[in-house]
Structure 1
Amino acid sequence: MSDFARQPRLERSSVIALLREHDITPTQQRVEIGCLLFGGHQHVSADQVLARLSGARRGVSKATVYNTLGLFAEKGLLREVVVDPSKMFFDTNLDPHHHLYHLETGELEDIEAADVTINRMPALPETVDVAGVDVIIRVKPSAR
């Protein structure tokens, strides 16, 4: 069973309040997705959310899941983590941190921001400020 399947679910009333705080209309599908996501820190793909929902309720389309996750990210409830052009995770941990991506298992793991040091940044135009730095370290089993 995946960590996502074991995650505690947030109560519907708490999800409704959270969505309203972020100016999101709490539709039935959005609330159900929020109940799955906001019980704790986790990294999930849209396909994982869709699979979990199909076991609990029928009629939620893939487009609805993608649109809802995108809306949640846009409104600051989730963080999008693109590990490669074909693989995106949605992260419920909004604190500054980085990631370790296990190529063999597809698992994404948090790394504390303090555990990564960047000694130098490129010169940036005066018209921009750094909004954040995301580090993804891709790992594979050692050949040793």
Structure 2
Amino acid sequence: MLKHANPNLSREDMALLLREHGITPTHQRIEIAHTLFSRCEHLSADQIMASVNLRHSETSKATVYNTLKLFLEKGLIREVIVDPSKVFYDPNTAPHHHFFNVESGELTDIEADAMQISGLPELPQGMVADSVDIIVRIRPSHSGGLHA
């Protein structure tokens, strides 16, 4: 499994990655995977579609969303929901957290070992913790906020 984006990945690498996850590598799936895994950034579905359509304008919004859903189901990417209107897709599936710049809209990684969580609330009976995702919302200090 890839943990970080790599700009040197070929489309053949993407086809192999998809096959390893039980996904039939169609042309459009390969292009979407290449967009996700060759860049060192978190992308929205619209950004992915725009990037894919720079090379091949036949990819529809429905195809992008359906492919992202498939990639999520197969554990190839993770979804980072900053708020209901801002969803990013992250090819780094290793445990980590995020900074979200509320002014620029940029999402960046925080290594998991850079944060400590001292405890979780008691879980409902019969439940186990699956993961903990922390989003730290930031803004430039000149724009006000909690500690301007």
Q: Tell me, yes or no, if the aligned pair for 2:36 and 2:90 is still in contact at 8 Å.
A: no
Q: Give distance in 2, aligned partners of 1:77 and 1:42.
A: 15
> What TM-score do you get using the length of structure 1 for normalisation?
0.89
Query: Does the Cα contact within 8 Å between 1:9 and 1:35 map onto a contact in 2?
Result: no
Rounded to whole Å, the distance in 2 between the matches of 1:49 and 1:117 is 32
**1:22 alignment counterpart:** 21
Q: Secondary structure at the match of 2:89?
A: strand
CA distance in 2, matches of 1:11, 1:24: 17
How many angstroms apart in 2 are the aligned matches of 1:79 and 1:41? 14
Task: Supply the RMSD in Å over aligned alpha carbons.
Answer: 1.5
Cα distance change, pair 40–52 in 1 and its aligned pair in 2 (3 A) = closer
1:63 aligned counterpart, secondary structure: helix
1:47 aligns with 46
Q: What does residue range 75-94 of structure 1 map to in structure 2 within 5 Å?
A: 75-94=74-93
Match of 1:83, SS? strand
In the alignment, the residues of structure 2 paired with residue 9 and residue 29 of structure 1 have an alpha-carbon distance, to the nearest angstrom, of 19
Partner of 2:3: none
Per-residue deviation, 1:76 = 0.7
Q: Which amino acid aligns with 1:24?
A: I
Shift of 1:39: 2.4
Q: Distance in 1 between matches of 2:59 and 2:112?
A: 36
Partner residue in 2 for 1:56: 55
What is the TM-score when the length of structure 2 is the normalising length? 0.87
1:75/1:67 Cα in 2 relative to 1: closer, same or farther (>3 Å)?
Answer: same
What percent of counterpart residues are identical?
Answer: 52
Question: Unpaired segments of 5 or more residues in structure 1?
Answer: 1-6
Residue in 1 aligned with 2:135? 136
CA distance in 2 between counterparts of 1:40 and 1:54 reads 16
Q: Distance in 1 between matches of 2:68 and 2:16?
A: 17
Cα distance, 1:12 vs structure 2:
1.6
Q: Which moved more, 1:35-44 or 1:17-26?
A: 35-44
Aligned length: 138
Runs (5+) with no aligned partner, structure 2: 1-5
Q: Which AA in structure 1 matches 2:74?
A: K
Question: Secondary structure at the residue paired with 2:126?
Answer: coil
Q: Which residue of 1 aligns with 2:33?
A: 34
What is the DSSP-based 3-state SS (H/G/I as helix, E as strand, rest coil) of the residue aligned with 2:72? helix
